[in-house]
Structure 1
Amino acid sequence: MITYKPKLLLFSHVSNTGSITGAEKLLLLFCLQVSPYFDCILAAPQEGKLTNYARKQGIPVRIQSYPLLYGMYFPGGRLEQEAEELRVHPDFSSVIRCITEIAPDMVLTNTVVNALPAIAAKTLGIPVLWKITEVMQATEYTSAAMHVIEKYSDCLIAISEASARIFRGRISRPITLLPPSSDNGLLHPDQKLIRTGYRKILRLKDSQTCIGYISSFIHPEKGLREFIHMALMISETYASCRFVIIGKPADQAYYDRCITEVNASGYRTRFRFIPFVESVHSAYNAMDILVVPSMVHEGFGMTALEGMLCGKPVVSFDGGGLGELMTMTGNAHFSVPLGDEAMLAVKVSELLEDPVLMQHTGSVNAGAARAHYGLEVYQDRVRSFVHELQRGCPDWMSGDISRSLSTYRAPLPIPLQGTASVKRKRGKKRMQKGLRSRIQGTTAAKHRHKKRKAGAKRRSLRRFKSIKRR
């Protein structure tokens, strides 16, 4: 029986203000699901959607800035040096102070690029859980990234086999697979009222087929250009199709080029561009087909999973964890080679040609997504992970680490050499000189006081004798 609830400090790599990314959603979900076993505190670099949602769920939040080490995603020749240079970054001492004040038993850092919290925690002797949500790119310097992970982590939590694969056989740290889920109770199929209402907002008729694209932030890696090319390929054949694009541009020049292509196509009126929607479930319900044309090997495919939970057929490129999701849910047939726009159009056309297949695929997706990635399945996986920690690392769960940090005092900074040191020496001399002056001044004042007192005594005696003679 657990008598102590360990404290877990979770560092998010971002906290976006306009929308919330898949990685942020997964961190919040993980935090909520481990809360029965840990006292969770969320650290984020700024206020945003994530911190707002966390507070509403009763999770304490600490705002603390820290830089990201992007070289961990695409390793370069200076990666290990860049990792060590984080120790002299202005935020490093602040993160150390943040950790010691909270005194956690464990620290979790989210995404492979969020290295500074891991380095700070290990400096203090705190166990580090490193959550890997992306597929690290393999380069000639991948071994440098492995060395950083090995040095500054105790356990890896990977959201897919695609994100874990590069580490297997290269590091000694245990790797736990924890595929995502969604705790959004609104992600359900057959919500006709929501569908009808949102299609009116999008100016869609019942006779029109809505093909959707959703991304929190739009940049080339998210494949908007490939989606548009696919849409233009089928527009002439399927006049009833409408294309809804939801997402905030992260690369404005790229986004503008995509819109320019649409405007020049002659099919501009068939496209709807929407920067952001608060209730994403409404958008999914308004769609008939969801296309996820990611141009990189994703760690997972949260957009695809959410679309499936809403009972939508999904067509995607086959890359990384997104491909795993498509295969696991029986959608390998609708997963096409990365970047093949023509094949993407073929698969969408196949669904458009057969409305019964479209409806059946969406229904099967809803069941398969819940069977493999439902909230209950995720809770079971989290429970198993926590039990493994309890059995394998009982000292992490005992409270000894937190208690030792509670008495920890950060060492004073090492005095700088050179000019600053000379200035301090000069300042010390001035202080000593001033002190001597004050001491000397006090002594002189005492001496003057004694002289005045002696003179007054003599004058008093003379007056007394004078009176006596009279």
Structure 2
Amino acid sequence: MNRIRVCIVTHLFLPHVGGVEKVVYEQSVRLPPERFKPIIITSDVAGKSEYTLDRLKVYCYPTIKAGFKLGIPYSIPKPKSYGIFLKHVKNCDIVHVHGHPYPSSCVAVKVAEKFSKPIVLTQHNTFIDYGPFWNIIEKLNDLIIGKMVIQAADKILVVSNATLNYVLSLGAKKQKTEVLYNGVDLERFKPAKRSKLKIRRTIGIPEDSFVLLTVRRLVYKNGVDTLLESAKIAVEKNSHLLFLVIGSGPDHEKISAKIREYRLEKNFRLLGFVPDANLPHYYNAADLFVLPSKSGEGMPLVLLEAMACGLPVVATNVGGVPEIINRDCGKIVPPNDAANLAEALLEFSRSDTSTYSKKAREFVERKFNWNKNVRRLIEIYEELI
């Protein structure tokens, strides 16, 4: 029996760090190798033309490097990239693109239509606030590339009901659109058997601190600036609060300067990049997870990972976040509201969070499972061929 050849197109992929990259990896690597032959087409941000990652063959299209330097929030393929898409899309059985507004999705869809290949689109987020100028570009992009990709897709998968409403507003047909929740690796992300204090000693965190963790790229939309403003308010009332921020990004220097200005060096630490394999240690060392996003969240993987480790969460009311958090496992606050966020963080610092922790883990176990996700994905692939 011939294996089903799946051409998966994502503008970014591992080792580049991000939620979409993780989703593409987790789904692709779980496709049964005796039935499926997935390949990945992505940008060359890793500096390679092709590579293999855990039996996944990855082909990279060359990009216009000036795009990222100018602040364009996605990769732009060079004209010669077309040959890469042509070669691999032509020889596959199904094309699965991730994200509707990306130039790479547009090229892949056009080639797929040329060779009558079925197309699956996964949309991971709602509208992302990149700031006033790029918001105008993004809205135009939605109307041009985005709508074209959405209309061409034979099946549209969205990661939350908020994302569903977003693609419907762009002209997606409801009958070909389906919510397929992301999963989380419940074996890797789980409450640690070692005590929290022992883990803290291992990674150098003061034992008497109330630790608030976030895992975010340091970019405007992720709201680390709002988190810092809330820290300024909260630390005045509780000096034992310790904010840990895992992640890097273009706003690093700006945030570092604000930390110094607010004299929060002891209470607000930018840890930079932490390998994915080490994240469970930090989740298990923390008391509370914070997601201060301003916009664009579909189904944040870091939120699921934190809850799988038994962390209660405080997060902003954006995108699909309210579909994850209820009063049993955390609290929702308005975006861009440092005072409200600070009050919620202080409330948890004064509370016994053990019940929240148990409920958070139970909720994730019940609803967010990669094996369940991939079983449905396989059914969709087979229905379309």
Question: Which of the five TM-score ranges fits, normalised by the shorter chain?
Answer: 0.7 to 0.9
Comparing 310-319 with 43-52, greater Cα deviation is found at: 43-52
State the 4+ residue runs in structure 1 displaced beyond 6 angstroms: 49-52
Distance 1:11 1:388 in 2: 17
Q: CA deviation digits over 1:324-371, x for unaligned, max 9?
A: 2224x844x6011121211111111111112x2x12211210111111
**Matching of residues 175-324 of structure 1 within 5 Å:** 175-183=177-185, 185-192=187-194, 195-196=196-197, 198-200=199-201, 202-215=203-216, 217-249=217-249, 251=250, 254-278=251-275, 279-324=278-323
Aligned to 2:149: 149
Q: Structure 2: where are the runs of 5+ without partners? A: 68-75, 129-137
Q: CA deviation at 1:133?
A: 0.9
Compare the two structures and name the one with the higher strand fraction: 2
Distance 2:44 2:144 in 1: 30
In structure 2, do the counterparts of structure 1 residues 148 and 155 end up closer, same or farther at CA, with 3 Å as the change threshold? same
1:111 corresponds to which of 83, 88, 99: 99
Q: Which amino acid counterpart does residue 177 of structure 2 have in structure 1?
A: I
Q: CA deviation digits over 1:81-128, x for unaligned, max 9?
A: xxxx98x9332233212333xx11001111222322222222222111
Aligned to 2:25: 28
2:358 corresponds to which of 350, 363, 372: 363
1:351 corresponds to which of 340, 348, 353: 348
Distance 1:21 1:50 in 2: 18
Aligned to 2:338: 341
Q: The residue matched to 1:115 in structure 2 has which SS?
A: helix
* CA RMSD between the two structures: 3.0
Comparing 281-290 with 195-204, greater Cα deviation is found at: 195-204
Q: CA deviation at 1:143?
A: 4.8
**Matching of residues 356-435 of structure 1 within 5 Å:** 356=352, 358-373=353-368, 375=369, 378-390=370-382, 392-393=383-384, 396=385
Distance 1:324 1:268 in 2: 35
Q: CA deviation at 1:51?
A: 11
Q: Which amino acid counterpart does residue 313 of structure 1 have in structure 2?
A: P
In structure 2, do the counterparts of structure 1 residues 259 and 381 end up closer, same or farther at CA, with 3 Å as the change threshold? closer
In structure 2, do the counterparts of structure 1 residues 67 and 25 end up closer, same or farther at CA, with 3 Å as the change threshold? farther
Aligned to 2:84: 94
Q: Which amino acid counterpart does residue 257 of structure 1 have in structure 2?
A: K
**Alpha carbons 1:66, 1:116 under 8 Å: kept:** no
Q: CA deviation at 1:25?
A: 0.3
Q: CA deviation at 1:158?
A: 1.1
Q: Which amino acid counterpart does residue 25 of structure 1 have in structure 2?
A: K
In structure 2, do the counterparts of structure 1 residues 365 and 225 end up closer, same or farther at CA, with 3 Å as the change threshold? same
Aligned to 2:54: 57
In structure 2, do the counterparts of structure 1 residues 287 and 139 end up closer, same or farther at CA, with 3 Å as the change threshold? same
Q: CA deviation at 1:247?
A: 0.9
Q: Which amino acid counterpart does residue 363 of structure 1 have in structure 2?
A: K
**Alpha carbons 1:28, 1:50 under 8 Å: kept:** no
Q: Which amino acid counterpart does residue 224 of structure 1 have in structure 2?
A: V
Q: CA deviation at 1:203?
A: 3.2
Q: Which amino acid counterpart does residue 272 of structure 2 have in structure 1?
A: P
Q: CA deviation at 1:228?
A: 0.8
Q: Aligned pair 1:122/2:113, yes or no?
A: yes
In structure 2, do the counterparts of structure 1 residues 385 and 267 end up closer, same or farther at CA, with 3 Å as the change threshold? closer
Q: The residue matched to 1:10 in structure 2 has which SS?
A: strand
Q: Structure 1: where are the runs of 5+ without partners? A: 71-84, 397-470
Q: Which amino acid counterpart does residue 235 of structure 1 have in structure 2?
A: V
Q: CA deviation at 1:383?
A: 2.1
TM-score normalised over the length of structure 2: 0.83
Distance 1:360 1:65 in 2: 50
Q: CA deviation at 1:262?
A: 1.5
Q: Aligned pair 1:42/2:32, yes or no?
A: no
Q: CA deviation at 1:258?
A: 1.8
**Alpha carbons 1:297, 1:322 under 8 Å: kept:** no
Distance 1:131 1:107 in 2: 11
In structure 2, do the counterparts of structure 1 residues 346 and 141 end up closer, same or farther at CA, with 3 Å as the change threshold? same
Q: CA deviation digits over 1:421-463, x for unaligned, max 9?
A: xxxxxxxxxxxxxxxxxxxxxxxxxxxxxxxxxxxxxxxxxxx
Comparing 36-45 with 126-135, greater Cα deviation is found at: 36-45
Q: CA deviation digits over 1:119-172, x for unaligned, max 9?
A: 222222211111111114695885545640244322111111111212337234
**Alpha carbons 1:312, 1:365 under 8 Å: kept:** yes
Compare the two structures and name the one with the higher helix fraction: 1
Q: Which amino acid counterpart does residue 13 of structure 1 have in structure 2?
A: H
Distance 1:23 1:380 in 2: 18
Q: The residue matched to 2:297 in structure 1 has which SS?
A: coil
**Alpha carbons 1:210, 1:241 under 8 Å: kept:** yes
Q: The residue matched to 1:186 in structure 2 has which SS?
A: coil
Q: The residue matched to 1:248 in structure 2 has which SS?
A: coil
Q: Aligned pair 1:7/2:8, yes or no?
A: no
Distance 2:47 2:355 in 1: 35
The aligned length equals: 359
Q: CA deviation at 1:48?
A: 4.4
Comparing 278-287 with 306-315, greater Cα deviation is found at: 278-287
Report sequence identity in percent.
Answer: 16
Distance 1:185 1:49 in 2: 32
Comparing 174-183 with 41-50, greater Cα deviation is found at: 41-50
Larger radius of gyration: 1
Q: Which amino acid counterpart does residue 292 of structure 2 have in structure 1?
A: P
